[in-house]
Amino acid sequence: MKSLFSDQERERISAAITAAEGNTSGEIVAVVTEASSSYTYVPFLWAALAALIVPWPLIHFTWMPVQWIYLIQLLVFLALIAALWPKSMRAAFVPRSVRKGNAHRRATEQFLAQSLHTTTGRTGVLIFVSVAERHAEVLADYGIHARVPEGTWQIIVDNLTNDIGAGRPADGFVQAIKHAGEHLSTHFPPGSRDPNELPNRLIVLDG
């Protein structure tokens, strides 16, 4: 995760948040996490299924001693656990609907954990990316969500995911923050008293 953004890129994202919030009374928080679930069950599940299948062709089509069949079964089980243990591999073997559900749950948790639901006027916006699940999401509190056209946040998400897919994650975040800030400034311009309630930096979670 540390290699996804350099120090300079994190500074760019922080500056983008500060600039966007300078034109609005709303708040923007950017969060990226390595994964929204550990998926530690995945290697064991697939390894067990494969190990159960392996003996059948050996039993029916060879005269291999049962001791050798058992050893092959055990080796297949251990080899698949080792192969599937990296986090990126674990997530790849999980159905997309499950990955999306886990990422959305994590985004919702972060919306609350970062206190976006407590902002003045309920104008908090969360820009969230979960790398292992290849999922991006924008969550907006009802103060701003009710005022923007339907599909607004999805357009921001689509552009963000396109930039991440093209190897430009920092550019994607900067543009997403800029566009979210434009919508906030349209409906919630700066007030005479406009405290900065939340941190203006990219929040990186280890998973």
pLDDT tens per residue across span 34-58: 999 999 999 999 999 999 999 999 9
Task: Say how far apart CA 27 and CA 20 lie, in whole Å.
Answer: 9
- Residue 88's pLDDT is 78
pLDDT tens per residue across span 102-116: 999 999 999 999 999
Which domains are present in the chain?
Answer: 2-37+95-205 (3.10.310.50), 41-92 (no CATH)
pLDDT tens per residue across span 60-77: 898 999 999 999 999 999
pLDDT tens per residue across span 22-37: 999 899 999 999 999 9
- Residue 1's pLDDT is 52
